[in-house]
Chain A
Amino acid sequence: MSNNNDVLLKVVDLKMHFPIYRGVFQRQVGAVHAVDGVSFDVKRGETLGLVGESGCGKSTTGRTILQLYKPTAGEVFFKGSNLVSLKSEEMRWMRRQMQMIFQDPYASLNPRMTVAEIVGEPLTVHNVATGKEIQEHVMHLLEIVGLNPSFAGRYPHEFSGGQRQRIGVARALALQPSFIICDEPISALDVSIQAQVVNLLEELQEQFNLTYLFIAHDLSMVRHISKRVAVMYLGVIMELANRDDLYLEPMHPYTQALLSAVPIPDPVADVNRKRVILEGDVPSPVNPPSGCRFRTRCPIAEKICAESRPEFREVKAGHFVACHLVS
């Protein structure tokens, strides 16, 4: 694993607002603030976990980073170049270095293409290889992800969920990228298969020196694989820290609440620990609360929380929190 701590991906104040049109003339009446000012770095060779409830904007963040949506504002620097300002053909070229693994292995593979065509397509469209080379390359990739190369001529629906996810991984690896966004890659799988896929991802990371942005909806899922973890709520990152810091010493009340909801396999400790139970529902991203996004459900919210938006600041070395009340 690489030891240098240089930054591979830098996201600066990224915003993604989806407009809402209403009325006779379809005027824009508002917007879904899916991602609303997100900043973080991903270091070369590490895995950054991005955690949040469903609908908090974590998948949108991933997709916006890859320029699948045109961001409303903000910058995304990858290896120093700003992806937001790239022309579409330049961006297409850039995609060789950054790939994605999708949540739903059923939906993310074209049902009319064979495994060989799916895994080989990145090579074809980027003219990396031709004819026989592609075949050999595909066979090799299938072996790497633990699939029998003799199944290359089969269609996705002939495989189980875990096997399909391996096909998705092989496709992502085809262009030898340095950065992969894993968008909840194990959420749709059976529990028994999840560990296999996580292990595979870890082994591949080591073998090919990959950098991951690992998106998940619950903290326990990313604990194992991540080096650092970011917690997202309603389009904003609330806390970002090294894994151990975050799990042992959560500073943001939202992180504390989330962690207290994770079951502990020790009945005594489980009974004795302090539980933080959140009340109410996640507010609508169309009209997010003023000031701190979390204040409407925060157990310790004060007046200031409604007035100004808390700065996302470094409280300890490498430990960022967006809360007025944490010092």
Chain B
Amino acid sequence: MLTYIIRRLLMVPLLLFGVTVLIFAMLQFLSPIERSALYVRDIPRNDKAVEGIIKRYKLDRPMHEQYWFWLVGTVDASTGKRAGGILFGDFGYSRTGAEPVATLIRNRFPNTLDLTIWAVAPVILVGIWLGVQAAVHQNSIIDQAARIFSIVGTSFPTFVFGLLMLMFFYVKLGWFPPGRMSDASSIIVRSEEFHTYTTLLTFDALLNGRFDVFLDALRHMAMPILTLSYISWATFLRVTRSSMLETLRMEYITTARAKGLSEHDVIFKHAQPNAMIPVVTLAGFSVILLLGGVVITETVFNYPGIGQAAAIAAAQLDVITVLGFALFNGLILIVSNLVVDVLYAVVDPRVRLS
């Protein structure tokens, strides 16, 4: 297993290199002047000044030089301030956000993470439970319902689903409002007594003992959570079901039954652990789904996360910002894929022992 993990770790720099090259390649569609937003906040109108910037930030140099410069940036000798250098966390300046892309991400990512955590946990628990039930009671009502649910679920565009949710639960019933929090909560959160521990609103509210803020946050997140996760529910359910069905057909399950184990033990001690192996892979994949999904979901519900910022930037053709988000998402995915693969190796004895 160690060999496997080491090989997997060696892949990380390779993937990082690949992703940066891919994004750098897309940057090349922009003119040097447009690209100067990677290094300076305001692009001057004066031709001479523009030329100076292009020279200083090597925007007219050969590709490989530009790429390297983009990676490490430069340090101003007089002020000691760094400009550019994605390896140092400087992704350039966002026109639509009116601040550095990195700052924009730092301010908004906690909101997205908060949302994602609350979306993932129920998916994994409920989706797996439903999948096991559907498999154990194959062709029963629950199985058929699960099947219909998954087909309808995967056919529903996120934004149509979101808009329908808004129509019923916000406009008609007034239960769940869009946005992040109510004005009342916002005043509490901004006050002196409210300490920031994790930057995730729901967790901070709990840690501060402010249940009103916590509930208010959940109320605002209810619709985004459901919208973000229903596709993953459908997928999780399908994969768990088919994997479970396959396992239940194995002969060692027949043996377990034949030796007189209770059906409960057969399913939960013998079948489920083995059936969960492909589900682990899916858990990693669902992170990709979710991160893709936040763009639409946050836009529909006016939720201030990185997805909404990316959508706004895209609509205004602010490429530097969108690329910054892509780079950031790429990093997250590389790390989460790594974690999943290692987990997979730990869970699956066939990988673990080879």
Residues of chain A having any CB pair with chain B under 8 Å = 22-24
Which residues of chain B come closer than 8 Å to A22, judged between CB atoms? 3
For B, the interface residue count at a CB cutoff of 8 angstroms equals 4
Which residues of chain A come closer than 8 Å to B7, judged between CB atoms? 24
Q: Could you count the A-B residue pairs with CB atoms below 8 Å apart for me: how many are there? A: 6
- The verdict on B6 contacting chain A, using a C-beta distance below 8 Å, is yes
Which residues of chain B come closer than 8 Å to A23, judged between CB atoms? 3
Q: Which of B1-37 contact A (CB under 8 A)?
A: 3, 6-7, 10
> B89-122, CB under 8 A of A: which get 1 and which 0?
0000000000000000000000000000000000
Would you mind naming 6 contact pairs between A and B with Cβ atoms under 8 Å apart? A22-B3, A23-B3, A24-B3, A24-B6, A24-B7, A24-B10
> B336-350, CB under 8 A of A: which get 1 and which 0?
000000000000000
Which residues of chain B come closer than 8 Å to A24, judged between CB atoms? 3, 6-7, 10
Identity of the chain B residue whose Cβ is nearest the Cβ of A23 in the assembled complex = B3
Alpha-carbon distance between A23 and B10 when the two chains are bound, in angstroms: 13
Minimal beta-carbon separation of B206 from chain A (angstroms)? 44
Which residues of chain A come closer than 8 Å to B10, judged between CB atoms? 24
Which residues of chain A come closer than 8 Å to B3, judged between CB atoms? 22-24
Alpha-carbon distance between A22 and B6 when the two chains are bound, in angstroms: 13
Minimal beta-carbon separation of A113 from chain B (angstroms)? 34
Minimal beta-carbon separation of B87 from chain A (angstroms)? 26
Alpha-carbon distance between A24 and B1 when the two chains are bound, in angstroms: 11
Alpha-carbon distance between A23 and B3 when the two chains are bound, in angstroms: 6
Identity of the chain B residue whose Cβ is nearest the Cβ of A25 in the assembled complex = B7
Minimal beta-carbon separation of B353 from chain A (angstroms)? 14
Identity of the chain A residue whose Cβ is nearest the Cβ of B9 in the assembled complex = A24
Alpha-carbon distance between A23 and B354 when the two chains are bound, in angstroms: 10
Alpha-carbon distance between A257 and B85 when the two chains are bound, in angstroms: 75
Alpha-carbon distance between A22 and B7 when the two chains are bound, in angstroms: 11
List the 5 closest pairs (A to B, CB-CB), nearest first: A24-B6, A24-B7, A24-B3, A23-B3, A24-B10
Alpha-carbon distance between A24 and B3 when the two chains are bound, in angstroms: 5
Alpha-carbon distance between A30 and B3 when the two chains are bound, in angstroms: 17
Minimal beta-carbon separation of B350 from chain A (angstroms)? 16
Alpha-carbon distance between A23 and B6 when the two chains are bound, in angstroms: 9
Minimal beta-carbon separation of A20 from chain B (angstroms)? 13
Identity of the chain A residue whose Cβ is nearest the Cβ of B4 in the assembled complex = A24
Alpha-carbon distance between A24 and B7 when the two chains are bound, in angstroms: 5
Minimal beta-carbon separation of B150 from chain A (angstroms)? 34
Alpha-carbon distance between A86 and B10 when the two chains are bound, in angstroms: 41
Minimal beta-carbon separation of A302 from chain B (angstroms)? 39
Alpha-carbon distance between A316 and B127 when the two chains are bound, in angstroms: 75
Alpha-carbon distance between A22 and B354 when the two chains are bound, in angstroms: 10
Minimal beta-carbon separation of B14 from chain A (angstroms)? 14
Identity of the chain B residue whose Cβ is nearest the Cβ of A22 in the assembled complex = B3
Alpha-carbon distance between A22 and B2 when the two chains are bound, in angstroms: 12
Alpha-carbon distance between A22 and B10 when the two chains are bound, in angstroms: 16
Alpha-carbon distance between A211 and B6 when the two chains are bound, in angstroms: 53
Minimal beta-carbon separation of A119 from chain B (angstroms)? 41
Alpha-carbon distance between A75 and B3 when the two chains are bound, in angstroms: 38
Identity of the chain A residue whose Cβ is nearest the Cβ of B5 in the assembled complex = A24
Which residues of chain A come closer than 8 Å to B6, judged between CB atoms? 24
Minimal beta-carbon separation of A29 from chain B (angstroms)? 11
Identity of the chain A residue whose Cβ is nearest the Cβ of B6 in the assembled complex = A24
Q: Which of B264-292 contact A (CB under 8 A)?
A: none
Minimal beta-carbon separation of B57 from chain A (angstroms)? 39
Minimal beta-carbon separation of A100 from chain B (angstroms)? 34
